[in-house]
Structure 1
Amino acid sequence: MKKWILSGMMISALGLSACSSSAVLKSDAGNITQDDLYQAMKTKYGTDTLQQLAIEKVLSNKYSVSNSEVDAQVKKVKEQLGDQFLSTLQQYGYADEKAYRKTVKLNLLEEKAVFKTIKVTDKELKNAYTDYKPEIKARHILVSDEAKANDIAAKLKAGAKFEDLAKENSEDTATASNGGDLGWFGTGVMDADFEKAAFALEKNQISAPVKTSYGYHIIQVLDKKKKQSFDELKKTLTNQVKESKMTEDKILKVLKSEFKDANVSISDKDLKNAVNFSSSSSLSQ
């Protein structure tokens, strides 16, 4: 998840005229003018915010991202985070879903620009198809203590209901109230050790306790999707291979090229670094 914060207040402040002297705050101790506010916010946030606005402006001129594409990405995150969706966004600095959607759109614009430069071979696609695992639907119970995990596993073998034990014991607060339901997910989403165990299970099979960096999980696979043919999956596989090659260096190289083609220039010398795309740039996955 990218940590860019597109604050409405910040964008508005940068839109103020630098020469304005209108007071935005008045007090007996003195006033704060629009110019004071602009200069303060420009110093603290200006370069990063201008860079984000510029990237969206430049890339939107050549590439398009539909509302449905943004909806699909947001839906995936909502399914993964459940009731913790909004609180997690706030932890990453987003005021609300609207602010997060702006970042999703920006990420998709970058993706389209970079994907255009990445080649995929037939061999890579065939290897990706061999490794491809269809989505599964699963639920889990997470506890921090191995002895407790073994006790829960024993209760399940004795016939206890999975959903009841999840509600009573799971430390995953995002899923416990739903009986541990994780919904549908594919590879590359969950913890690697969790995924290895989950995708090895048959439908309705319950795992022994699985240790990950989060604790001990007991996993049950509720359903599995059937693997589609190579032709049906070719577009999905192509995007997956391209995404695996989408490094920060590639993103920066493409952005430099796009900005050069668009003849981008900055008149405010204090913000000139907004077009200085380097490894220390504000870009962050």
Structure 2
Amino acid sequence: MKKQILIASIGTIFLMSACNDSDSSENGKEIVQINNTTITEEEFVAELKDRVGEPILNEMVRNILLEDKAEELGITKEDVEEEFASFKEEYGLEDDEQLLTMMQMQFQLPIETVDEFKTNFLKPQMVIDQLAVEEVEITEEGKKEYYEENKEELESVHARHILVEDKETAETVIEQLNDGEDFANLAEEYSTEPAASSSGGDLGTFYRGDMVKEFEEKVFSMEVGEISEPVKTEYGFHVIELLDKNSTYEEVEEDIEERMRSEQAKSPDEVVQELFDEANIDVKESTYEDWLQSS
């Protein structure tokens, strides 16, 4: 299960920091002149506060609360490094440059360095993930009850297939398999699936609902090691081999725990709001009293 990525407003926080650095004696200085009109730094800062001040202030307070909580929970630099390695593996990232590119292109985040990613995104997310499940209780009885109620949804299979255009070709493939030919080699030779040449037709592990109806109905009814007759779908004719099936309580117990923990966990918003509610936040300037999530 891919980790949810915590989105923080680094760019806007930078802007607010720049505003806070402005000396009061310079607030009236002119910074832009357009024809006969000038914009002062005081006007610019006031506009920034009106437009983005409230979310940025909440973001800054939130980041402090999360950093304090990380220290309280004992999240170490080593823990962050371990989570970083796990994150890269989960997203199939081979190096740091690929990670930065993904953050910038896919998630539109202004991340320039790996250290920035670890500090501003990964570590806060670790805090939220830990707090989200700290009150979750999972018992053996609860897991078994969950299993009985969700057997079909929990069942998974590992299969491979060879996709061809017509039934006759599918039957030819089956004959060769029965004669001892290698499945992966036949997938590379016959399959019209683009990835078959490198995957050998392996589809990995999947659940009900992941494949088209006709394919799913067949593969979940098969026995491990069985080769199917030609199965027709909108894509053509499939020859399927079932490699593994997980359906007993013991086989899916780990999946049950993960699902139950995810379903019972607090949302990130709930976690952050609780941090605001529990914190000692003293708003020194009355102008900002109504800006915070909770004060």
When normalised by structure 2's length, the TM-score is 0.54
Is the aligned partner of 1:94 residue 2:109?
yes
1:184-239 Cα deviation digits (max 9, x unpaired): 5566xxx833399397364585784667xxx8996967854889995x98777544
Unaligned runs of 5+ in 1: 142-148, 278-285
Query: Where do residues 1-285 of structure 1 align in structure 2 (5 Å cutoff)?
Result: 2=4, 4-6=6-8, 8-18=10-20, 20=22, 29=34, 36=44, 40=48, 43-44=51-52, 46=56, 49-50=59-60, 53-54=63-64, 56-63=66-73, 64=75, 65-78=79-92, 90-95=105-110, 98=114, 102-127=120-145, 131=151, 151=165, 155=169, 157-159=171-173, 161-163=186-188, 169-170=193-194, 178-179=198-199, 192-194=209-211, 197=216, 200=220, 202=224, 208=231, 224=244, 237-248=256-267, 251-265=268-282, 269=287, 272-276=290-294
Alpha-carbon separation, structure 1, partners of 2:239 and 2:103 = 24
Q: State which structure, 1 or 2, has the greater radius of gyration over its C-alpha atoms.
A: 2
Residues 134 and 256 of structure 1, relative CA distance in 2, 3 Å threshold: same
Q: Counterpart amino acid of 2:280? A: N
Alpha-carbon separation, structure 1, partners of 2:42 and 2:188 = 56
Alpha-carbon separation, structure 1, partners of 2:81 and 2:196 = 32
CA contact (8 A) 1:209 1:216 kept: yes
Alpha-carbon separation, structure 1, partners of 2:80 and 2:289 = 31
Q: Counterpart amino acid of 1:20? A: S
Unaligned runs of 5+ in 2: 174-184
1:45-80 Cα deviation digits (max 9, x unpaired): 62574365245324313332532234324422338x
Q: Counterpart amino acid of 2:56? A: G
Alpha-carbon separation, structure 1, partners of 2:123 and 2:160 = 30
Alpha-carbon separation, structure 2, partners of 1:210 and 1:271 = 62
> Aligned pair count?
251
C-alpha displacement at 1:113, in angstroms? 0.6
When normalised by structure 1's length, the TM-score is 0.56
CA contact (8 A) 1:70 1:105 kept: no
Percent identity over the alignment? 11
Alpha-carbon separation, structure 1, partners of 2:104 and 2:237 = 25
Superposed CA RMSD: 5.5
Alpha-carbon separation, structure 2, partners of 1:164 and 1:203 = 21
Q: Secondary structure at the match of 1:15?
A: helix
